[in-house]
Amino acid sequence: MRPRASNCEGDSRAHERIDLGGQTRTPADANRPRLRAAFAEIATDVHDPCVDVQPLRVIIAEDSALIREGLARLIVDSGGVVVAKVADGPSFVAAVVEHRPDVSVVDVRMPPTQRDEGLRAAIEARRLVPGTPVLVLSQYVERQYATELLADRAGGVGYLLKDRVADIREFMDALRRVARGGTALDPEVVAQLMVPRRPDDRLHALTPREREVLAAMAEGRTNVGIAALLGISEGATEKHISNIFGKLELPDSQNDHRRVLAVLAYLGS
């Protein structure tokens, strides 16, 4: 994968974004009017002030022609290049191997069973092209899906609800962050992960403040952003993060990103 240049502040893996969001179960067609309205606004409201020097090269895997073409228009109007558009898992895997995109957008549910073919294809694509960034879209959040995407510890993965596409700036920001090796998960999942589920859940080892810091990390905030949000100093923020890594037994490593592993620990808890 070719290196990417960016003029954005905080464009480092140490400050990667993890966006997480809501567990709203809706029929497959329920979001389409909202998506259609969002796509209609693209021509006048897609330009993010943080623009990559090189355009994103994107593959879209989505069986709905409406959503597929809408995503393509959104990405192109935001300065990206859509190198392939496909409607099933095998075609997506083949496209990734051929084009080596900067990032791919993949629907979880695709033909023939409309279950998790897109997710399986994303995992297979990352096996064949290690580290290839993938942003998965779904109608609702499944913890297992997010866990499986994060399991290789490589970063460069995202899991967003399709509702998130309606917020064009947020979606494009998530797409760019995933392309740079970050992680984007939907925001209300953070709240779900912050609730202890068993008496031996490792969440119990964290203080209330450490839980707040971990939640802010999961939302993609930098140390500066966490300090501003919680009204504490940057030094205190760094200390809390160090304590979190220690309690989760996540030693410093050149191969694993501890912020990703911290969230993964709760996805699997």
Q: Which two tokens stand for residue 208?
A: 């209330």
Q: Could you tell me the two tokens for 49? A: 């002030």
Q: What is the mean pLDDT of the chain?
A: 76
From CA 22, how far away is CA 162, in angstroms rounded?
10
Taking residues 189-209, what's their average pLDDT?
68
Judge contact between 133 and 181, C-beta under 8 A: yes
Closest CA to 226 of 47, 18, 49: 18
Q: How far apart are CA 203 and CA 201, in angstroms?
A: 5
Three-state SS at 55:
coil
pTM of the prediction? 0.67
Tokens of 217: 């990390």
- 26 shares a domain with 127: yes
Write the single-letter amino acid at 228: A
| 159 and 50 within one domain | yes
Residue 89 lies in a domain: yes
Residues 99 and 176 in one domain: yes
- pLDDT greater at residue 3 or residue 215: 215
Report, as an integer, the average pLDDT of 138-161: 77
**Gap between the Cα atoms of 119 and 139, Å rounded:** 13
Torsional sign, CA 168, 174, 178, 183: negative
Are 87 and 19 members of one domain?
A: yes
Residues 17 and 86 in one domain: yes
Q: How far apart are CA 241 and CA 239, in angstroms?
A: 5
pLDDT computed for residue 90 by the predictor: 96
Give the domain extent around 159: 13-188
Give residue 131's pLDDT. Answer: 87
Q: What is the CATH number of the domain that holds 241?
A: 1.10.10.10
Domain end residue (candidates: 131, 162, 188): 188
- Does pLDDT of 26 surpass 90? no
* End position of a domain, from candidates 142, 166, 188: 188
27 lies in the same domain as 157: yes
- Whether 5 is covered by a domain: the verdict is no
Res. 60: pLDDT tops 50: yes
Query: Could you identify the residue written with the tokens 């580290």?
Result: 131
Query: Are 176 and 212 part of one and the same domain?
Result: no
pLDDT at 107 over 90: yes
Question: Which positions ≥6 away from 44 have C-beta within 8 Å?
Answer: none
Among the residue ranges 22-36, 73-87, 236-250, the one predicted with the least confidence is 22-36
212 and 183 together in one domain: no
Q: What is the pLDDT of residue 201?
A: 66
**Which residues, at least 6 apart from 241, have a Cβ–Cβ distance to it below 8 Å?**
213, 217, 223
Do 90 and 132 lie in one domain? The reply is yes
DSSP symbol at 79: T
Domains in the chain, number: 2
On whether residue 98 sits in a domain, the answer given is: yes
The H or E element spanning position 263 is helix 258-267
Between CA 18 and CA 16 the distance in angstroms is: 7
231 — pLDDT class (breaks 50, 70, 90) = very high
| Alpha-carbon gap, residue 53 to 80, rounded angstroms | 11
